[in-house]
Amino acid sequence: MNKKKKPSQDILEKLADYFDVSTDYFLGKTDVRNPEETKIETKAFHSFDMNVLPNEVIR
């Protein structure tokens, strides 16, 4: 018989921290590796001001 053990919450959190992913990603519940980084990237994208770029760059 193959007995499988589940890691404790503490071990799961340590592994997720080590690999810099969320516990949900580690467990396969989401495709988002790190939701905090995604929030920061989204905020940076939306705060980017296209008006500061020359027209040649925008085209």
What was the pLDDT predicted at 10?
A: 92
What was the pLDDT predicted at 31?
A: 82
Q: Residue 20 is which amino acid? A: D
pLDDT digits (tens, 9 = 90+) for 5-53: 888 999 988 988 898 888 888 888 888 777 666 555 666 666 666 566 6
Contact predicate 24/30, CB 8 Å: yes
Residue 3 has pLDDT above 60, yes or no: yes
Q: What is the DSSP string of 8-26?
A: PHHHHHHHHHHHT--HHHH
Number of other residues whose CB lies within 10 A of the CB of residue 22: 20
Report pTM: 0.49
For the chain, which residues make up each domain, given as ranges? 9-49
The residue assigned the tokens 């997720």 is: 16
What was the pLDDT predicted at 14?
A: 92
Report the alpha-carbon distance of residue 43 to residue 47 in Å, rounded.
6
What was the pLDDT predicted at 30?
A: 83
